[in-house]
Homo-oligomer: A and B are copies of this chain.
Amino acid sequence: MVAWKNLDTLKSYEKLQAMKGKVDIKSAMVGEEGAARVAKYNVPMAAGMAYNFAPKQVDDEVLAVLQELADEQELVGKFEELYNGAMINTGEKRLVLHQLARGQLGNDVIDKGVNKREFFVAQQKKAAEFANKVHAGEVVNENGEPFTTVVQIGIGGSDLGPRALYIALENWARTNGTLKMEAKFISNVDPDDASAVLKSTDLAHALFIVVSKSGTTLETLTNEAFVKNALTEAGLDPRKHMLAVTSETSPMASGPDYLTAVFMDDYIGGRFSSSSAVGGMVLSLAFGPEVFADILAGAAETDKLCCNKNICENPAMLDALIGVFERNVMGYPATAVLPYSQALARFPAHLQQCDMESNGKSVNRFSEPINYVTGPIIYGEPGTNGQHSFYQLLHQGTDIVPLQFIGYKESQIGNDVVIEGSTSQKKLAANAVAQVVAFAIGKEDENPNKCFAGGRPSSIIIGDKLTPKSLGALLAHFENKIMFQGFTWNVNSFDQEGVQLGKLLAKKVLAHDSDGALKAYSDLFEI
Contacts and interface: CB of A to CB of B under 8 A. Distances in A.
Interface string A493-524: 00111111111111011100001111111101
A411 B357 contact: no
Contact of A341 (B190, B343, B422, B496): B190
B448 A369 contact: yes
A362 B447 CA distance: 12
Nearest to A42: B524
Interface in A73-126: 91
Nearest to A191: B424
A417 B447 contact: no
Copies of this chain in the oligomer:
2
Contacts of A431: 189, 502, 506
Interface string A372-406: 11110111011111011111111111110100000
A429 interface: yes
A281 B465 CA distance: 36
A298 to B, nearest CB: 19
Contact of A222 (B39, B424, B432): B424
Interface string A283-323: 00000000000000000000000000000000000000000
Interface in A425-477: 425-438, 440-443, 447-453, 460, 462
A271 B388 CA distance: 9
Interface in A133-162: 155-157, 159-160
Contacts of A360: 390, 392-398
Interface in A340-382: 340-343, 349, 352-353, 356-363, 367-370, 372-375, 377-379, 381-382
Nearest to A200: B174
Contacts of A156: 385, 387-389
A265 to B, nearest CB: 19
A424 B226 contact: yes
8 contacts: A155-B384, A159-B388, A190-B384, A222-B417, A270-B388, A360-B394, A361-B397, A437-B518
